[in-house]
Structure 1
Amino acid sequence: MRVLVIPHDMQLGGSSINALDLARAVRERGHDVRVLARGGPLRDRLAATGLPIVEAPEQMSMRPSPAVLRAVRDTVRRHRIDVVHAYEYWPTLEAYLGARGAAVVGSIMSMGSLPPYVPPVTLTLGYGDLHDEVTAQRGTARSHLLEPPIDTDWDDRATVDLDAFRAAHDLPAGPPTFAIVSRLARSMKQESIERCIDAVPALDPELPGIRLLVVGGGSAEEDIRRRADKTNADLGRRAVILTGPLDDPRAAYVCADVVCGMGSSVLRGMALGAAAVVVGERGFTEPVRPDTIPVFDRLGFYGVGEGLDPAADPLPGMLLSLFQDADRRSELALWSAELVRGRMSLKRQTDRLLKCYEAAIADRRPFAERGRERANALGQLVAYKGSELRRARRLKAARTRTPGEGAAGHG
């Protein structure tokens, strides 16, 4: 097969890393794979794979982007592409509108229901609830479960130089350590990172010397750094260590007794032999254990709670129980690594993905026969854009309204 892969972006995030890992694995199975990519932190990793790169437009003033559509269309024609595989919502729509003559597969790892503008293409979904929802809407032929792939050959403790990492970041062995590896983004991520930071002083009386590694960079980095600096000042020691983004964060996972976070990040920590706690949004907190796996089967390794009272955050208690029971922590670490190797390995997920490609090719119809389908997709897009514009106008009006406005009829 000739495949064009379109990552969501080239930032150090789970979806884009998944895209590159699967592209490389599909190429290793003997297929012709190209990647449509802009600049970004993952560009060097992509170049190191040897996969041919198709330059994507750097500037996009709107989505879907006409420039991306042209790039997809031209690449499909020039290289006689069989399948265009796009990741997340806008790239999937751009692939659908631009890939005349090729089958389209969209991979959705994002949380929540599909936006109405996602076109009727073959989809892979990253967790059970979304897969079931999409299957009910679109049928089994166009809906496939594909959990985040973890390269368990790479994410192997035996391949990690922990001593070099400790020396580079001045992290002597000994103190109890937990870690979160994440984009330091305001959306979805900031709450979980700040809760991990706040857990350090809460745990310090019971676990003197406990420390937290925060690995990553992003829009919330300044806020997070201020919080970490305050925690360190209050404790009078270097308790929260921000390493910045790391191209290879494996040693940070291995340095940790417990890994916190969500999604692919938690799974990588588990593959590297750490016990794990999923810290989601609005207070969601759940350790990863045999009895909690049904929760993650439905939600992915993520969750949204009912809200959080910071004074009653369950995270410190969960961490304390893990740190105080070394035998149980070791059992969970071994079980976690076996779970990821057996269920989420890159090899296993590549097998599934190739079947999705075959299904998409079998479902492919000539471009000229899909006129009504395209018109419906564009109609959904116009309706969505219109609703977003109206919502933005309402929010702007609410921000500019004076305190007395809107009270007519009450005196």
Structure 2
Amino acid sequence: MKILLVLTKKFTAGGGQSHIINLSKGLIAEGHEVIVAAGSGPLINELRTSGAEFYRLHFCTSINLLGLIVQILIAVMRLKPDIIHAQSGNAMTACLPVAKLFGIPCVVTYHGFSPQTYNDRTVSALVPKIITVSEYYKHKLLQGGHLKIEQIVVIPNGIDFEKYDSPISDKPKGNESVLAFERNTDKIIYISRLSKEKAGCYDKSKQIAQVLSAMPLVYKEIPSARLLIVGGGDAFDETKNQAEVINRKLGIDLISLAGVRYDIPNIIRRGDVVLGLGQVVLESLACEQATISLQNGVFGGPMTPEKVGTLEKTNFAGMGGRESPILAEDIITVLKNRAYYLDLAKKAKDRAKVIVDIQSIAKRTVEVYREVIHEHRLLKQSAISTALLVFAMLGYKMGQYFGKGRLK
């Protein structure tokens, strides 16, 4: 099977990009051919190492929606895939018209951003299956009232555990000096995209603020605690300024920022505890590191084998951030009992391997592909109905863009 994965973003550091690399490797191991269409970026070489082909998209924003559609159309004509798998709402908007015009089935993955992009009658009519990464997100999609429950399949993001078994030496690393912690410090690593985005189930600004606000509380109890924030985005400068305010107030370099990094496993291993959501939680557990999920409620906090068992419910993301006093208590508890939580992390990793090893996730994804292809062959639409659906979708999406702002 020839599979075209489409991401209308640059192929740089991010959970979606990491997911595509992992999924590509799993699909190729299952004997399929994978082409990834996306914007250029530093992770292309890693993608190619997995065995996937890279097809560059030059316009990767909803402002250039028509340009995106034309590029996808050209890609499909050249590559002749058996199925298209769009990895975002913007990719879905660009891929569905092309898929319908060429009679190629198209699957969409919903990662948690902008559920309103998916919740309309046109999408419901055009999309045979939406893969979402948790039961929580499935519930969010169904709230719109247009999608049917049988259209949505829950498959969490998988991870290639083998990649984390040893240090990585072939990644672009960046400035090593920012990773130089003081001696005899308790090292807290927070890995996240630093974004101002408030879309769908996410409020990144709030999450960042909660982590920053927790640190003075941790420092009061454990003066040796230090926080390193790893990640970039449009909120980087703002986050840096907030960190500097806290540092000046306390008279110590409590919080530092490393920016975008690609040697994440190496950074995780340098820490004493890792904070994060989604893919970061899995990456940290794969390194057998003490890990705190930033989710609110019982699903968040220090990771245990039991919490790993809830992965398909939450994907360790999207249920609201952990309030600062609670997060501070989590960090203090883990740092004071690190050996215990390291042992739990190893057991949690073993549990996660059963649930989200990339090969099992790839197999489940292929099952969806085959089901969609089979149904597509049985229910081929007439050229007229296809054209009507395509124009209806384009008209709706263009109206949505100009009326409500940028699509996510």
**What interval of TM-score do these two structures reach, taking the shorter chain for normalisation?**
0.7 to 0.9
CA 1:390–1:106 in structure 2 vs 1: closer, same or farther (change >3 Å)? closer
1:103 alignment partner AA: P
Q: Are 1:248 and 2:263 counterparts?
A: yes
Q: Which amino acid aligns with 1:347?
A: Q
**Partner of 2:228: helix, strand, or coil?**
strand
Is 1:332 equivalent to 2:344 in the alignment? yes
Question: Is 1:194 the equivalent of 2:209?
Answer: yes
The answer for the alignment partner of 1:159 in structure 2 is: 167
Q: Aligned-pair distance for 1:224? A: 0.7
Q: What residue identity is the alignment partner of 1:154? A: K
Name the aligned partner's letter for residue 164 of structure 2: D
Secondary structure of 1:154's partner?
A: helix
In the TM superposition, what is the alpha-carbon distance from 1:286 to its structure 2 partner? 3.7
- Give the structure 1 partner of residue 58 of structure 2: 57
Give, in whole Å, the separation in 2 of the partners of 1:17 and 1:354: 19
Change in Cα spacing, 1:28 to 1:172, as seen in structure 2 (3 Å) is farther
**What's the offset of the Cα at 1:18?**
0.7
- Could you say what secondary structure the match of 1:144 adopts? strand
Matched, 1:300 2:310: no
Q: CA deviation at 1:295?
A: 6.0
Shift of residue 344, structure 1, vs aligned partner: 1.2
The reply on whether 1:264 has 2:272 as its aligned counterpart is: no
Larger of the two Rg values belongs to structure: 1
1:115 is aligned to: 119
Q: Write the deviation string for residues 362-399 of structure 1: whole angstroms up to 9, x where unpaired.
A: 1214765375466356546645654665556xxxxxxx
How many residues matched? 383
1:375 paired residue among 370, 381, 388:
388
Output the amino acid matched with 2:81.
Answer: I
Residues 1:211 and 2:215 aligned together: no
User: Aligned residue for 1:35?
Assistant: 36
Alpha-carbon offset, residue 22 of structure 1: 1.2
Supply the distance in 2 between the matched residues of 1:26 and 1:40 (Cα, whole angstroms): 22
2:2 paired residue number: 2
Structure 2 gaps, min length 5: 198-202
Superposed CA offset, 1:160-195 (max 9, x none) = 57xx99877222563212111111111132322232
For 1:387 and 1:95, locate their aligned partners in 2 and report how far apart those are by CA, in whole Å: 17
1:274 CA displacement: 2.2
Corresponding position of 1:355? 367
Kept in 2, the 8 Å contact 1:177–1:257? The answer is yes
Identify the range of structure 1 (273-282 vs 340-349) with the bigger mean alpha-carbon deviation: 273-282
Q: Aligned pair 1:289/2:289, yes or no? A: no
5+ unaligned residues in a row in structure 1: which ranges? Answer: 393-411
Q: Equivalents in 2 of 1:383, 1:104: separation in Å?
A: 19
* Equivalent residues in 2 for 1:12-31, closer than 5 Å: 12-31=13-32
**1:314 counterpart residue number:** 326
User: 1:297-324: CA deviations, max 9, x gaps?
Assistant: 433312444996x6xx321112112222
Question: Secondary structure of the residue that 2:130 maps to in structure 1?
Answer: strand
- C-alpha deviation, 1:153, in angstroms: 0.6
Tell me if structure 1 keeps the 8 A contact 2:274–2:284: yes
| CA spacing shift, 1:350–1:120, aligned 2, 3 Å | same
Distance 1:97 1:201, change over 3 A: same
**Structure 2 residue 185 is the aligned partner of structure 1 residue 175:** yes
Whether 2:95 is the aligned partner of 1:95: answer yes
For the 8 Å contact 1:180–1:193, the answer to whether it is kept is: no
Contact 1:151–1:346, Cα closer than 8 Å, also in 2:
yes
Tell me what 2:131 maps to: 124
| CA offset digits 1:61-92 (Å, max 9, x no partner) | 636x2232233233323333101111011212
Determine helix, strand or coil for the equivalent of 2:109: strand
Task: Give the alignment of 1:392-411 within 5 angstroms.
Answer: none
Contact (CA 8 Å) 1:75, 1:81: kept in 2 or not? no
Report deviation, 1:250: 1.0
Single out whichever of 196-205 and 127-136 deviates more from structure 2.
127-136
Q: 1:391 to 1:59 in 2, by over 3 A?
A: closer
Aligned to 1:66: 66
CA deviations on 1:12-60 (whole Å, 9 max, x unpaired) are 2111221122123322333222121222343343354453222313365
Relative to structure 1, is the Cα distance of residues 202 and 182 closer, same or farther in structure 2, using a 3 angstrom cutoff? same
1:126-183 residue CA offsets vs partner (Å, 9 max, x unmatched):
001333666894353x432210111101123x3357xx99877222563212111111
The SS at the match of 1:105 is strand
Match of 1:408 in 2: none
Counterpart of 2:107 in structure 1 is 105
Range 143-152 or range 108-117, more displaced: 108-117
Task: Check conservation: 2:300, 2:322, Cα contact below 8 A.
Answer: no
Residue 163 of structure 2 aligns to a residue whose secondary structure is coil
Corresponding residue number in structure 1 for 2:46? 45
Contact 1:112–1:130 under 8 Å retained in 2: no
| Partner SS, residue 180 of structure 1 | strand
Fraction of identical pairs, as percent: 20
> Does the 8 A contact of 1:37 with 1:55 survive in 2?
yes
Q: Deviations over 1:208-233 (max 9, x none)?
A: 11011111111001111112222222
Please say if residues 8 and 15 of structure 1, whose CA atoms lie closer than 8 Å, have aligned partners that are also in contact.
no
- The answer as to whether partners of 1:150 and 1:340 remain within 8 angstroms in 2 is no
The one-letter amino acid of 1:148's match is N
Q: Alpha-carbon deviation of 1:6?
A: 0.7
* TM-score, scaled to structure 1: 0.81
Correspondences of 1:133-148 after superposition (within 5 Å): 137-140=147-150, 142-148=151-157
Q: CA deviation at 1:252?
A: 1.8
> Partner of 1:219: helix, strand, or coil?
coil
SS in 2 for 1:243: strand
TM-score (norm 2): 0.82
